[in-house]
Amino acid sequence: MKFKSIIHIFVWMAGLLASSVLADDTGKTTQDAINLGAMTVTASKIIETLKEVPNSITVIDGAELEKQGITDIDGVISRIPNMNLVDFGLRFHSNVRGINTSIFTLNNPVVLYIDGIPQTNRYAYDLPLVNVERVEVLRGPQGSLYGKDAIGGVINMITKTPGDFWEGQVGLGVGNYKKREGSFSMQGPLSQGALYLGLYGRHDEDDGWIENTYALDSKGKGNSEMKRHLGGNLLWTPWDDFSARLHLLHERHDQGFQNGGVTGATSFNEARRSNSETIETDKDTFNDAVTSSQALHLEYESGFGMFQSVTTHRKTDSDAENDVDFGVGNPLYDNQIGFEDVTLESTSQEVRWTHELDSGMRWVAGLYYEDEQTDFHEFGRQVFGMDFTWVSTSEAETQAAFGQLTIPFLENFELTVGSRYQKIEKEVSVDYHVNPFNGGKAILGTPMAELDVSESWTAFLPKAALSYKIDDHWTTYASVATGYMPGGFNYLATSPDKADNAFGPQKSTSYELGVKGDMLGGALFLSAAAFYMDIEDIHVVSVDGSIFTTTNAGKGKSWGLEVEFDYLIGEAWRLHGGLGVTKAEYVNYTDISGNVNDGNIIENSPAHSLTLSLQYDHPAGYYAIATLSKSGRIYFDAPNTLEEDGYVTLDLKAGYRLDGWEFYAYVDNVTDADYRIYGADHLPETGPIVYFGDPREFGIGAKYRF
């Protein structure tokens, strides 16, 4: 089914929508509508309405996530203009407005938060969307409040707070590729007015769409996957002005082969998913990660404002092994593997003070400390008959002070100024081993090279925004903000020289003009923003055989537009749309191969993204949802030789609710669109690596709410 046919489906559904609107009473439509702009958010670490935040922000509540069938961060990001995410064997790479993951700092440009627990690392970059109150997605640099690594934005997830009555739900589902899923949540009082408990969990498992036909693989599984999450909240409210909340989360994510392979003799731009549905791998491939997180929130409300303390700890153990050449029959790579065993641990402490005066002046001020420890017990590859293994330890310590002040003036104006001063210290120790490969992993002896270095960076990250309240419904704003991602060291170093293995911070300055507001009695909420961003010292990675190097790539720039709307029509229809247009390009970058990339599009940055979602809810309990997604051209390398021209997908879901029960069926990627989501030219003898989007998936499920 082509793009025009998909549009015809939307035209037909829009016709039904128009008929419904004509039949409805207009007054009743606006009277019963929810004013989306009045939704409360905490994106600025202080309670505000969506219309008050002078920033591009998308908010999705938990009920909408459930209705849409969005169960992970990838599903959230797919709905956000100018954001992109790829699962690279449980090492997640995000891109927002042209800002990419920094490979050797291990950090993504968008920081994830779940009830205050930060996650920037590309390992285990996922959160369970169970028991969710809402998800807030901020685009653009957020360094003044959120610090390092928030150079591209923040995803802030807030779970439900247990109340005075027990409530919850349980759900089960099955689908093709032997998909099995189950979830539950429950929260309520252990002692009313004093102690509350919330529990939630989710399990997802499937056999994947790739079959391994190699005779030694008795299971025949390719890209099978299992995700399991279990979390809990304990809330203690001994006094009206004090609360303590403990949040615990355990996550396990096991994954087999990646969603693709190598192109072989086929050119990358002609590679098709159908050619990767069967594989032959002579070595097992797996990616496993186990993560445990804890957070303690303390809040005290006084006549001088709110005082808060957030203490967090997060630890991930990741173990992976893969067939180097993604197949058999190549004597240079047969029976040789890539492998890694890494432990990542972080502890953070934040204290802040927020307050709002009767005049409308409000502020947040705080201190932040974080300690990150990364231990690569082993990381290596076996190629050309040799075993290359790195063993490394690194520690990063961050100290920061931050603040933000909003001042109303001249009745309809507000000026917001914020800043953060932070100091980051890093120490890295690397041992590089090279040994002949004789089957199995090599016995490590004396390192060929040793690197033992340290460095510190300080940064001042200011932000300013001016907003003007046009009337009670519309607000416009202009802002400028600085973004920052710290420098680091190559943990795959092959020499002891600091200069050969160090790279500096990546910085950005972003300018944004926006408008947001509602009309039709609050039934339609609209937001639009235009942005321009200068990027300096971009973190880039180059690969030559088994040798990885990182450098700062000079300058880049990015500019574009984002538009979102939510339209509640009548009692039954809802239309949501999001459009992002970005042009992100290198201004000054010549890579180690001598390619001059000036003027080329920054890799992993789609030219545009479009989402349209049409929902129908019948008073009798029936509902239906159609979601159209379109992505523009995207390049996967700086020379712009590996590309995807663009693609369109259509997802459908229908269900029925009755007396606490819900039954539903869905089809994702109805047209079975075949498209590429990642590419890399690491193995010249076997062709580029290529990953594909998921094929058509369908399933049924049931939920019970109490």
Buried b (16+ CB within 10 A) or exposed e, 168-177: bbebebebeb
The reported pLDDT for the residue numbered 576 is: 95
CB-based contact 118:124 (threshold 8 Å): no
Question: What are 618's two structure tokens?
Answer: 């019948």
CB-based contact 19:10 (threshold 8 Å): no
568/32 Cα distance (integer angstroms) = 9
Strand order, beta sheet including 153-159:
57-61, 132-139, 153-159, 107-114, 117-121
650/611 Cα distance (integer angstroms) = 10
**Closest-CA residue to 3 (of 611, 608, 632, 630):** 630
Residue 138 CB contacts under 8 Å (≥ 6 apart), including other chains: 43, 55, 56, 57, 153, 154, 155, 156
The reported pLDDT for the residue numbered 222 is: 81
Domains of the chain by residue range: 3-705
Which helix (H) or strand (E) is 565 found in, with range? strand 555-569
The reported pLDDT for the residue numbered 36 is: 60
Question: What are 312's two structure tokens?
Answer: 């967090």
The reported pLDDT for the residue numbered 581 is: 97
The reported pLDDT for the residue numbered 220 is: 58
One DSSP character per residue, 468-489 reads: EE-SSSEEEEEEEEEEEE--EE
CB-based contact 249:117 (threshold 8 Å): yes
Question: What are 45's two structure tokens?
Answer: 């670490």
The count of other CB atoms within 10 Å of the CB of residue 449 is 16
The reported pLDDT for the residue numbered 25 is: 36
The reported pLDDT for the residue numbered 286 is: 87
Among all chains, which residue has been given the structure tokens 């009767």? 358
354/365 Cα distance (integer angstroms) = 7
The count of other CB atoms within 10 Å of the CB of residue 513 is 13
CB-based contact 417:451 (threshold 8 Å): no
Amino acid at the residue 66: E
- Eight-class DSSP state of 269: G
CB-based contact 43:57 (threshold 8 Å): yes
Task: Give the angle subtended at the CA of 621 by the CAs of 617 and 625, to the nearest 5°.
Answer: 35
Amino acid at the residue 695: P
- Eight-class DSSP state of 30: H
One DSSP character per residue, 200-220 reads: EEEEEEE--S-EE--TT-SS-
The reported pLDDT for the residue numbered 22 is: 35
In 267-322, alpha helices (H): none
pLDDT along the chain (706 residues), means of 10: 46 41 36 56 82 90 90 91 86 91 86 87 83 92 89 92 93 96 96 95 94 65 89 95 96 89 84 88 86 96 95 95 78 80 96 94 96 94 86 96 96 95 96 85 88 95 96 95 93 90 94 95 93 95 73 92 94 94 95 88 95 95 96 94 95 95 97 93 77 96 96
499/221 Cα distance (integer angstroms) = 45
106/488 Cα distance (integer angstroms) = 10
The reported pLDDT for the residue numbered 683 is: 67
270/248 Cα distance (integer angstroms) = 46
pTM: 0.89
Local structure of 37: helix, strand or coil: helix
The reported pLDDT for the residue numbered 654 is: 97
Question: What are 290's two structure tokens?
Answer: 């186990």
The reported pLDDT for the residue numbered 521 is: 87
- Eight-class DSSP state of 596: B
CATH topology of domain 3-705: Maltoporin; Chain A (2.40.170)
